[in-house]
């Protein structure tokens, strides 16, 4: 592989790989289609073992950014809590985590991370080009040409590199070019999400459960946020799909309807539903939320993620999406990056990376389907999905899958 790299997409997966490659001496360019600052929505994320191992090796900021939450609670219809299991959760928010990655990548500071770490003499050079919409990729021998246009001026540019990492999410335009047979399919449900300040919660049973820092990194009790997610089945041909995903400006959204753009009448209707079907404490949390956002859930499953004679790698949700019910999106993005690092270090071959990647992701995907079925479908369906997950694990163990 060459000593320069292009990463398509400034998502979590893109930044993780950008930091990792920079620290291995690669000259890295990230091409991000979005031209502004990504809104984090105060969205909570779970920190898993692969995130921790990545940060232990590559984070030069070392600022506190996560909270250890007490075990999750389930509430019965009367609002009485019941401990679900004894395992604690380590939580942060997407925006804060992204700011830590970004300052490690190119020194971009923020309120959350006001001082950039000193670069190492062995680091590669880096660049983050926003407003860069990739229109094509081409194998040209020992390099890959990446064609993109400026989303404002529409001027087309070509850049080439010895390594290209595709991390542009489940809607990946590059995956569509390289593997047009792989489709993104609607999973049949949506999720409402939001946050409120801990200080506004009257029911103290909620404290320490699913709390996250703010986007600017405030971890102090009472100032941090309580994070909630509400999954709901919604058929694809339902009239509610069009209604809910039309924003205040009349624009239709296919993936996420961002915070601040939910139509007030739709949110009022959802709050009324919360008050009628949710336990009192949960209904209070939802009804006090002022800026919710809404996401349509999709599935993407790939069978090939290396192209152009092992010069182009597809990672993260661009390769395979895992149901959000299991809360592992950031963990899996870090897993992908840590495994690709082993290729960079010469510890495994690209083909070995692809095999291990797909094997692991298929198992996690099946687990995600089981968890989603448990919460959103019938008990029979959940048991059936669970049996298929266990069968896959068995087949993988004996080397068949």
Q: What is the CA angle 6-12-16, rounded to 5?
A: 60
Q: Is 371 a domain residue?
A: yes
Q: Is 392 a domain residue?
A: yes
Which segment, 161-165, 231-235, 331-335, 381-385, is predicted with the most confidence on average?
161-165
Q: What is the pLDDT of residue 57?
A: 97
Cα–Cα dist 261/132, whole Å: 24
* Count: domains in the chain: 1
Q: What is the pLDDT of residue 38?
A: 62
pTM over 0.85: yes
Using only the alpha carbons of the chain, give its radius of gyration.
21
User: What are the distances in angstroms from CA 299 to CA 171, 247, 249, 368?
Assistant: 10, 23, 28, 11
Q: Is 375 a domain residue?
A: yes
What phi and psi, each to the nearest 5 degrees, are found at residue 220? -70, 135
**What's the pLDDT tens digit per position in 339-393?**
999 999 999 999 999 999 999 999 999 999 998 998 888 889 989 999 999 999 9
- Model confidence at 161: pLDDT above 90: yes
Q: Is 14 a domain residue?
A: no
Residue 346: count of CB within 10 angstroms of its CB? 8
Nearest to 136 by CA among 100, 174, 190: 174
Q: Is 382 a domain residue?
A: yes
Question: Can you tell me whether residue 8 is helix, strand or coil?
Answer: strand
What phi and psi, each to the nearest 5 degrees, are found at residue 20? -60, -45
By mean pLDDT, which of 65-79, 232-246, 364-378 is the weakest? Answer: 65-79
Q: Is 328 a domain residue?
A: no
Query: What range does the domain containing 393 cover?
Result: 363-401
Q: Is 391 a domain residue?
A: yes
By mean pLDDT, which of 83-87, 138-142, 255-259, 334-338 is the weakest? Answer: 83-87
Cα–Cα dist 346/313, whole Å: 15
Cα–Cα dist 311/296, whole Å: 32
């Amino acid at each position: 592989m060459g000593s320069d790299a292009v990463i398509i997409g400034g998502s979590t997966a893109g930044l993780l790989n950008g930091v990792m490659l920079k620290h291995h001496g690669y000259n890295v360019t990230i091409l991000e289609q979005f031209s502004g600052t990504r809104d984090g929505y105060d969205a909570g994320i779970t920190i898993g073992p692969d995130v921790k191992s990545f940060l232990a090796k590559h984070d030069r900021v070392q600022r506190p950014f996560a909270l250890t939450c007490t075990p999750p609670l389930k509430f019965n219809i009367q609002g009485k809590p019941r401990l679900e299991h004894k395992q604690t959760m380590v939580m942060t928010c997407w925006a804060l985590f992204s700011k830590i990655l970004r300052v490690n990548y190119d020194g971009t500071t923020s309120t959350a991370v006001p001082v950039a770490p000193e670069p190492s003499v062995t680091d590669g050079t880096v660049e983050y080009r926003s407003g860069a919409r990739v229109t094509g990729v081409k194998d040209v021998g020992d390099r890959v040409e990446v064609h993109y246009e400026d989303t404002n001026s529409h001027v087309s540019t070509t850049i080439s590199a010895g390594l290209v990492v595709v991390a542009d999410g489940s809607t990946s335009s590059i995956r569509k070019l390289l593997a047009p047979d792989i489709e993104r399919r609607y999973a049949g449900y949506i999720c409402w999400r939001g946050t409120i300040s801990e200080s506004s919660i009257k029911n103290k049973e909620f404290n320490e459960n699913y709390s996250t820092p703010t986007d600017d990194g405030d971890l102090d009790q009472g100032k941090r946020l309580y994070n909630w997610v509400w999954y709901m089945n919604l058929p694809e041909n339902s009239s509610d799909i069009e209604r809910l995903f039309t924003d205040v400006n009349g624009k239709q959204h296919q993936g996420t309807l961002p915070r601040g753009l939910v139509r007030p009448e739709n949110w009022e209707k959802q709050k009324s539903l919360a008050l009628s079907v949710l336990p009192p404490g949960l209904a209070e949390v939802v009804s006090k939320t002022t800026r919710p956002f809404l996401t349509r859930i999709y599935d993407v499953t790939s069978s090939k993620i290396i192209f152009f004679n092992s010069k182009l790698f597809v990672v993260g949700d661009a390769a395979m999406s895992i149901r959000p019910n299991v809360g592992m999106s950031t963990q899996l993005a870090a897993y992908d990056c840590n495994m690709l690092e082993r290729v960079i270090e010469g510890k495994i071959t690209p083909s070995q990376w692809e095999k291990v990647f797909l094997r692991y992701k298929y198992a996690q995907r099946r687990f995600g389907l089981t968890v989603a079925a448990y919460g959103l479908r019938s008990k029979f369906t959940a048991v059936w999905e669970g049996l298929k997950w266990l069968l896959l694990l068995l087949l993988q163990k004996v080397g068949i899958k």
